[in-house]
Amino acid sequence: MEVRRGSCAPDVRSVVGMLISLFRTAVAWTVVGLVGGLAYREVTKAFEFTGRTQLALVHTHALVLGVLLPLLLLALVAALPGLGTDRWLRRGVHVLNAGLVLTVGMLAYKGVLQVAGAAHAGSAALAGVSGLGHMLLTAALGLVLVGVGRAVRTAAAPGTAELVGDLP
């Protein structure tokens, strides 16, 4: 079924927009994850580096948090009415992307410094910025869980809402 721009209700456009956004997010982080894996292999080979480095974690973090989580959310948006228009989910996805940019970016930066043997690879400032990225990821998971919880509660059949509990 083809949906032409402007031809459907605002809620439908919002849900379709969320589905497209989550899919594009997954595609973008797939590229980042694959490039990160390739960079790890090539940079360590170029420097003949055999030790441990944060660069090895870029691939996994980008693929798990940046691809699998948005794809899981995409399935939930398709399955739970109201989730695609939930403001908590929308905010959570934005915060998730910001947290991933900081976290994965700092993993890559610190990893390259470690491979290159830079003295400031263990800097507290690098750890602080990486910590901010992890805090954003934690906040994103909280926002997403609130949104999913609200959608689950709304989707529950009349009379069964007490089984779900008092979700925000």
Q: Which two tokens stand for residue 112?
A: 């390259």
If 0-12 CB within 10 Å is exposed, 13-18 middle and 19+ buried, where does residue 6 land? exposed
CA distance 142 to 144: 5
pLDDT, residue 13, reads: 79
pLDDT tens readout for residues 104-156: 999 999 999 999 999 999 899 999 999 999 999 999 999 999 999 999 988 87
In this structure, is residue 139 part of a structural domain? Answer: yes
| Confidence class for position 160, pLDDT limits 50, 70, 90 | low
In this structure, is residue 129 part of a structural domain? Answer: yes
Distance between start and end Cα atoms, the chain: 35
pLDDT, residue 73, reads: 97
pLDDT tens readout for residues 31-54: 999 999 999 999 999 999 999 999
Number of domains the chain is built from: 1
pLDDT, residue 81, reads: 84
What integer best gives the mean pLDDT of the chain? 89
CA distance 64 to 118: 29
User: Is residue 49 a contact partner of residue 121, using CB atoms and an 8 Å limit?
Assistant: no
pLDDT tens readout for residues 48-75: 999 999 999 999 999 999 999 999 999 9
Reported pTM = 0.84
DSSP calls for 16-47: HHHHHHHHHHHHHHHHHHHHHHHHHHHHHHHT
Residue 89: give the domain boundaries: 11-150
In this structure, is residue 84 part of a structural domain? Answer: yes
Q: How open is the CA angle 106-128-65, to the nearest 5 degrees?
A: 45
Q: Which two tokens stand for residue 92?
A: 């959570």
